[in-house]
Amino acid sequence: MERYDRLTTLIDKFKLTVSSAVPEGANLVVHTASDGTPDRACFRTRGTGFPPSERLVLFWAHVDWSGLHNPFLTALPDTVDIDMSADPDGIGLVRMMQSEIAEQRCGVDSVLNRLGEVLIVRMMRAQIEAGSTQPGLLAGLSDQRLSRAIVAMHDRPGQAWRTEDLAQLAGMSRSRFAETFLSSVGEPPAAYLRRWRLTLARQDIIKGHRVDVVARRYGFVSPEGFSRAFRRHHGEPPIALRHGQA
C-alpha cells in the first residue's frame, strides 16, 4: 500500500535550519515548568521576538524555513504552540538541544540543526493533526482524502494531472473533489498545482537551471508560456532572476 507522507517533500524542497539565538532574534522558544521540566514550545512563523513573559526559558533559537516562499509555512498560524508536558520524547529532544547550546562542543551547529529539524517536524505533525478552520494548505493536508491528492502534486509536480486523476486518488467523485478542494484549500486543484510548480520553478531558476529545462520539468508547453506565468506569479521574468543570481 502506497504511503502518503505529508511533510517530507516540504522538508526536502524548502531548506530548514535551526540555530541558537538571542531572545530578540529568536522565533522559537522552549519554556519549562517550575521544576525545570520542559513543558511548552512556541514557534513564531512570521517575525522574531516574543512578548515579555514570567515563564522560565530553557533556550531560544531561530528557525529559517524559506519564509514566504514556503507555502506550508505561510499557511500556518502566526504562532505554533505545543504542550510538551506529557510528551517524554519531546522533553528528551529539547533537553538534548539545550545541552548542545550550553556546552558548545565541536559540531554543535550541525547537531542543533538536526535536532531542531526533528522538533519542528513534530510541531508540524501536531498542526496537521489539529487541522485548521481557515481555507489553505494546512486544512487540505489535514483532510485524509484531499491530502492524498496534494501529496501526489507535491511529489510529482511535472505530471499532467487532471482533476479526474486527483479525485480518484482522493477516493471521491470529480465534482465532489473539486468542490471540497476549493472550500478547504481556497483555490481549485489546477490553480494550486500551477502555483506549486511556479514555486519550485523559482528555486530551480535561482540554482541556475535553464529556463527551457525548467519549463519542461513542470509541464509548461513552451518556455514563452512558462515565462509569462512566472512573471505574473513572481513579478519578474525567470531570465532576470537567473541573471541576478549569476
The residue among 37, 20, 25, 40 whose CA lies nearest residue 123 is: 40
Residue 151's identity, in one-letter code, is: V
Identify whether 3 is part of a domain: no
Residue 245 has what pLDDT? 58
Same domain, 53 and 112: yes
Domain assignment present for residue 99? The answer is yes
Residue 1 has pLDDT above 50, yes or no: no
Residue 31 included in any domain: yes
- φ and ψ of 60, to 5 deg: -115, 150
Q: Give the H/E segment covering residue 31.
A: strand 28-32
Residue type, 130: A
Sorting pLDDT into bands at 50, 70 and 90, what band is 198? Answer: very high
Domain shared by 100 and 14, yes or no: yes
70: helix, strand or coil: coil
Annotate 108-142 with three-state secondary structure: HHHHHHHHHHHHHHHHHHHHHHHCCCCCCHHHHHH
Please write the tens of the pLDDT for every residue from 43-91: 999 999 998 888 899 999 999 998 888 999 999 999 999 999 899 999 9
The answer on 123 and 17 residing in a single domain is yes
Is the model's pLDDT at 244 over the cut of 70? no
Answer whether residue 2 is part of any domain.
no
Q: Confidence class of residue 3 from pLDDT cuts 50, 70 and 90? A: low
Q: Of the residues 130, 149, 171, which one is the last residue of a structural domain?
A: 130
Q: Are 85 and 195 part of one and the same domain? A: no
Average pLDDT for residues 172-189, to the nearest whole number? 97
Question: What gap in Å lies between CA 209 and CA 107, rounded to an integer?
Answer: 32
Residue length, the chain?
246
Instruction: Count the alpha carbons within 13 Å of 32 in the hemisphere toward its beta carbon.
Output: 15
